Structures are given as C-alpha cells and as structure tokens.
Amino acid sequence: MNFLSIIMVCQSIIKKKTKNSRLVLLSAKGKAYDQKKAQQLTKSKHLILIAGHYEGVDHRVHENIADEVISIGNYVLTGGEIPAMVIVDSVIRLIPGALGNEESLEGESYSDKDNRVKQYPTYTKPKKFKTGAGEEWSVPDVLLSGDHEKIKSWREQKKIQ
C-alpha cells in the first residue's frame, strides 16, 4: 500500500492521537495475536488498524507510524481486512455490555478466569439423530436433566478431557 496514501489518511488521526490510542499495523511480520493482546487492546481509547493489501504496506509505516505490528497467524492472505475483522471482533466482545451477558465471557476457552484453555462440548436439537447407517447419536442425558449442578459438574469434567 502506498506510503503517501496512508500518510494522507493518518495525518489527522496522528495529530489527535493520545497516549491512550494504539495505531496497529497488520502484517505477517508482526507479533502473534492472542487473547492476552485482545485484552490489552480493550484498554485503548482509540484503536486504529492499518490493513495492507497484497504486498503489504510501505515499511516506513512500520518504522515511523505504527505503535505495534500484529499478525493473526502463519499463513498468507490477500489483504489485512480479515485480520482487522478478527481483531475488531475479539476486542469488541471484551468491552463491558457488548455481549449483553457478562457471564458469557467467564466460561470461554481463553478466559482469564481460572486460566481456562479448553471448552466443554456443545449440543443442540434434536435430542437424538439417526444416521443413514442406522447409528443413533444422542445428547448426553445429564444435559437434558435440568439439574444445573450436575450440568455444571459435567461441563467442568469435559473441559479437562
């Protein structure tokens, strides 16, 4: 992406940029993005993402403008738009009130609480499904029991496995 184009777009942003703003360049050369980084970015009052396309962004942006450079993985995409969406989604959902139910964050695969890194299995309707080969796949009975303590215990067990 052309340096002058970025400078023209960023000039007014850079002038107004505060200590609590983050200007992030998305690049395969960046540090790996993870849940901890998402949590850090939620503390920014303003988050500006620069997403390149094809061959990336002029290196002077990396050297002189970006506060940090982030990569979402070791693979090649045609542009930085999808990584930008990944970052926006993962940061927004951590902002209080964004999900509607703050408890939704507590049991997640990568929540800070209890250093969780695993998630229990999820089941939906129907309760039973018969395959073309005649097999029957069922939702575990404990999940259909309505006993919240047993369900909670089952979920905790399954997270460990």
> For 28, which DSSP code?
E
Q: Check residue 14 and give its pLDDT.
A: 75
Domain layout of the chain by residue ranges? 3-92, 118-160
Residue 129: which H helix or E strand, with range? strand 128-130
pTM (predicted TM-score): 0.73
**Domain 3-92, CATH homologous superfamily name and number:** SPOUT methyltransferase, trefoil knot domain (3.40.1280.10)
Q: Check residue 113 and give its pLDDT.
A: 56
Q: Check residue 110 and give its pLDDT.
A: 59
Q: Flag whether pLDDT at 108 surpasses 70.
A: no
Which band of pLDDT confidence, cut at 50, 70 and 90, is reported for residue 145? very high
Neighbours of 87 (CB within 10 A): 22
85, 79 in Cβ contact below 8 A?
Answer: no
**Closest Cα to residue 5, out of 45, 47, 60, 42?**
60
**Closest Cα to residue 123, out of 142, 146, 140?**
140
User: Residues 53-95: pLDDT tens digits?
Assistant: 877 888 888 898 899 999 999 998 989 999 999 999 999 999 9
**Closest Cα to residue 110, out of 93, 97, 129?**
93
Token duo for residue 88? 């926006």
User: Residues 13-38: pLDDT tens digits?
Assistant: 777 778 888 999 999 889 999 999 99
120, 112 in Cβ contact below 8 A?
Answer: no
CB-hemisphere CA count at 13 Å for 12? 2
Q: Flag whether pLDDT at 109 surpasses 70.
A: no
Average pLDDT, the chain: 87
